[in-house]
Chains A and B, each alone.
Chain A
Amino acid sequence: MGKNRECAESCIDYLALALVHHYRTQGQGPSLQAALDAVGERTGRQLAERYARDRPPLLDQLEAVKFVCKEFWGEVFRKAVDNLRTNHRGTFVLRDTQFRWLVRLAQNQMPAQVGQPLPAPLSKADLAADFLVLPCALVRGALAQLGWDVAVTADATSLPQVDFTLVIRQQPQR
């Protein structure tokens, strides 16, 4: 069932862009942050479930984070993380020097809807903040699926480089 099926890489870009655009312009319902958190976390869990299906549980912090840096990042963001640092007390910083989702997305914006005025241009930082909600939630969901409760934030002040900070809040129950 669809296991080795492929689609164009741009499909996921269009979808991520449409999601941000939808929740940015939606006058009612959940905030962009809340909605994309939920969408990404569910997807991250499902992906991690698939990628980690045939491996033993990752009970060591570093092993779990390495799985995210290599396998998860490689599949979802199309390259491995470039640099991993840790304070050895549950905080990890993952640096991606060419974060693929923003490289492509930040260059393009939705066209104006016909008959509506052009939206005001957004600063690069605002644009990045909205586009980072989904990737952060994907990573959080993946680790949640592996049993780790982790807070994920991202810093995109030096685009296209993005630093993801993972703070582990709770170990899996053994």
Chain B
Amino acid sequence: MEMINAEIFTLTYGSMVRQLIADHEDVEEVNAQLDKMGFSIGQRLIDEYLAKSKTQRCSDFRETADRIAKVGFKMFLNTTATVANWNAEGTECSLILEDNPLTDFVELPEQLGALKYSNLLCGVIRGALEMVNMDVECAFVRDVLRGDDVYEIRLKLLSSSTEAYPFKDDD
């Protein structure tokens, strides 16, 4: 991967969030737009991930979550997440980020308490997984900008159809 100084990305993202806040009166709508933009990014980013990560096909959702945390976050944002809090069925887990490059230089004013500043990330994960036929729910449940000690993204597998996975084993 070609790497750059993250400043330009972080600051452009911040400026974009400010613009979305100016565009929409309702903070919930900003959260929704960030998720939507992330979703279309994820749909494209999965190609680069599959082409460059040189990883094998995931055998189950546990492995998928692990790849997102250890390979995906590393490749694109140069940070890693921890996978935790699995449910008994292995369909729900949390990605815990202690370090989130999107929020460098950011402090939220009190009136933006409902803003999910990094919500783009949830959209990216959803969009990327959709392209490999996994339907997931993805949401921030803890956020350092809102006073928590870590960032926590809750990931829930709704359905997957491995038969339709777009790659044959002999590819």
Seen from chain A, the residues whose Cβ lies within 8 Å of a Cβ on chain B are 1-12, 14-19, 21-22, 29-30, 35, 38-40, 42-43, 46-47, 50, 75-76, 78, 108, 110-111, 113-114
Contacts and interface: CB of A to CB of B under 8 A. Distances in A.
A10 B48 contact: yes
Interface string B1-15: 111111111111111
By DSSP majority rule, is chain A's interface helix, strand, loop, or mixed?
Answer: helix
Interface of B: 1-16, 18-19, 22-24, 33, 36-38, 40-41, 43-45, 48, 75-78, 101, 104-105, 130
Contacts of B18: 39, 42
B6 A43 contact: no
B18 to A, nearest CB: 7
A10 B76 contact: yes
B6 A2 contact: yes
A5 B12 CA distance: 15
Contacts of A114: 130
Nearest to A114: B130
Contacts of B15: 38-40, 42-43, 46
Given A2-B101, A18-B40, A110-B44, A29 B8 contact: no
A74 B23 CA distance: 32
A50 B7 contact: yes
B76 A2 contact: no
A75 B16 contact: no
A161 to B, nearest CB: 21
Nearest to B1: A8
Nearest to A26: B23
B41 A15 contact: yes
26 contacts: A2-B6, A2-B7, A5-B6, A5-B101, A6-B3, A7-B6, A7-B76, A8-B3, A9-B3, A12-B9, A12-B12, A14-B41, A14-B45, A15-B9, A16-B12, A18-B38, A18-B41, A19-B16, A22-B33, A38-B19, A38-B22, A42-B15, A43-B12, A43-B15, A47-B7, A113-B40
A113 B1 CA distance: 27
B5 A8 contact: no
Contacts of B8: 12, 43, 47, 75-76
Contacts, number: 121
Contacts of A12: 4, 8-9, 12
A5 B76 contact: no
Given A19-B16, A35-B23, A39-B19, A7 B9 contact: yes
Contacts of A43: 8, 11-12, 14-15
Nearest to B13: A15
Contacts of A16: 12
B77 A7 contact: yes
Given A2-B104, A43-B11, A108-B44, A11 B77 contact: yes
B101 A39 contact: no
B1 to A, nearest CB: 5
Nearest to A37: B19
A76 B10 CA distance: 12
Contacts of A75: 5, 8
